[in-house]
Structure 1
Amino acid sequence: METLPFTLPAFEPGWVWLVGAGPGDPGLLTLLAAHALRSADVVVYDALVDKGALALAAPGTELVYAGKRGGKPSPSQPSITASLIDFARAGKRVLRLKGGDPFVFGRGAEEAVALAEAGVPFRVVPGITAGIGGLAYAGIPATTRDTNAAVTFVTGHASTGEVPDGIRWDDLAKGSPVIVFYMALKHLQTIVDRLIAGGRDPNESAAIVASAATPAQRVVTGTLAALPRLCAEHGIEPPAIVVVGDTVTFRDRLAWWEPAGTAVERVTV
């Protein structure tokens, strides 16, 4: 890394840094994240971390895959957390690299609590979450002055894998002008049905952004009611975010980035 006009904190042996890698494009890494990658002895990384980001690690750095993907063999959360503690107690500089932001719909808080209880020192390095950065790469602003004074982030499934029970769907449908759902494809029809039953306009603009900020990015836009059908027709697969609200209409004017060789999918059904 070239010389900076300020000093970055030292990554000390025995510490764990919980670092967000952003939504996909490795260029969205923060300076602290890049510094951590160059300094770490061990990088424990998630499935959604771009390989370009891992390439920033110093030669000889131990890379440990800890990806958790729904329906696929994955390491358990307790085993991942235990490995972080064990590496740190062995005097390693441990980088826990997570897609997006560690504290937004991930296990970052759980891991931080476990480290604190184990007496392992840690630092949190926020990353750009997909609900902001992923939308930006799709040409969809999270907020605009003319459309919404609030935006709500919602997880599409609870720790059980089902639709979250603690959401007051009527209030959500009526109270938030723009809603961004993470991990919602599995239960997309149920989510759409609950929003409409709660008073949301079925003809409101909505979009799915899959593999946001990566060369595989795909964006499908349409009406809220049509979104589950469009998802199936276009073969959209996770990881993806779903956004509902008038800011989706800006995509027609603000679609500034499209991955090379991919078609622009705009549906207005």
Structure 2
Amino acid sequence: MPDADPATGFVSLVSAGPGDPELLTLKAVNRLALADVVLFDDLASGPVLDHVNPKAELISVGKRAGRPSARQEHVNMQLVSHAQMGRRVVRLKSGDSGIFGRLEEELIALTEAGIPFEIIPGVTSASAAAAAAGIPLTRRLTARRLQFVTGADVTGQLPDDINWTAIADPKVTTVVFMGQRSFPELAKGLRAHGLPGSTPALFAEAVGHPHQRLLRTTVEELARMLQDAQVTQPGLILYGPLAFSESEKTLIK
């Protein structure tokens, strides 16, 4: 992290990975150790914060669906304000901040305020979930494309501009972020556009945390399971030609 300019400070937008502190990058650990202030997400807390400079100010700015959350405008304002005090600021975001992490809004705010910044990438929860389940995200003969999509628009509902041809492609590994509530509806659309209900699926909940849960199932069975389920943990859904057979469907301990 460059020395902070008293006039502009410096902001490091650090990706914390899915929650397991051993999945932090060395650069992420370095920036946490040098920080004067850390604004962190709920999912980027816990043991990850053990790497923070003990003299740093810690500020929780987490956003969780259905819970009181910090407004993005307020987060942007704090980033700019602390930097303008000449501080070394770390914005600690879960997973990889460039993937559905609202990184763009913060970059725009910093750019408009003339605050120098850097982006430090991290392990996305999709990679961590596949690794924990013992499967690859791509396969040389059957899954030559990988796509990340969101299961929720800004209102929390299933987006109305879905490219059904793309996400119902049976030869693609698809990862759905923030899709637990909308997946039953999404699954109906997938089947209507030709994706078999028997397509393998992996449901990953609280990836990288001690209470992580992985369930190997199918698109149809997962839609049934989530139909009236209470969403209490962050989760994501993978489906497509995953590397397991029908006989391997099981809860992974």
TM-score, scaled to structure 1: 0.86
The reply to whether residue 45 of structure 1 matches residue 40 of structure 2 is yes
The reply to whether residue 215 of structure 1 matches residue 210 of structure 2 is yes
> Which blocks of at least 5 consecutive residues in structure 1 are unaligned?
1-8, 254-263
Report the alpha carbon displacement of residue 232 of structure 1 after superposing the two structures with TM: 6.1
- Which aligned runs of 4 or more in structure 1 are off by greater than 4 angstroms? 232-236, 250-253
Q: In percent, how many aligned pairs have the same letter? A: 37
Tell me what 1:227 maps to. 222
* Counterpart selection for 2:88 from 93, 97, 112: 93
Give the whole-Å Cα distance in 1 for the aligned partners of 2:228 and 2:82: 46
The code of the aligned residue for 1:87 comes to H
> Which blocks of at least 5 consecutive residues in structure 2 are unaligned?
none
Q: 1:203 aligns to what SS in structure 2?
A: coil
> Within 5 A, what are the aligned runs for 1:168-207?
168-174=163-169, 177-207=172-202
**Deviation string, structure 1 residues 134-154 (Cα, Å, up to 9, x no partner):** 221222321122331101100
Q: 1:180 aligns to what SS in structure 2?
A: strand
Q: 1:225 aligns to what SS in structure 2?
A: helix
In the alignment, is the contact (CA less than 8 A) between 1:138 and 1:212 conserved in 2?
A: no
Give the whole-Å Cα distance in 2 for the aligned partners of 1:40 and 1:108: 19
The reply to whether residue 155 of structure 1 matches residue 141 of structure 2 is no
**Deviation string, structure 1 residues 52-94 (Cα, Å, up to 9, x no partner):** 1111111121000001000100110000110000000011110
**RMSD (Å) for aligned C-alpha atoms:** 2.2
Distance 1:194 1:234, change over 3 A: closer
In the alignment, is the contact (CA less than 8 A) between 1:220 and 1:230 conserved in 2?
A: no
The code of the aligned residue for 2:86 comes to G
Distance 1:207 1:236, change over 3 A: farther
Q: Which moved more, 1:36-45 or 1:218-227?
A: 218-227
The reply to whether residue 83 of structure 1 matches residue 78 of structure 2 is yes
The reply to whether residue 106 of structure 1 matches residue 98 of structure 2 is no
Tell me what 1:60 maps to. 55
Report the alpha carbon displacement of residue 231 of structure 1 after superposing the two structures with TM: 3.8
Tell me what 1:256 maps to. none
Q: 2:162 aligns to what SS in structure 1?
A: coil
Q: How many residues align?
A: 249
Report the alpha carbon displacement of residue 23 of structure 1 after superposing the two structures with TM: 1.0
The reply to whether residue 31 of structure 1 matches residue 17 of structure 2 is no
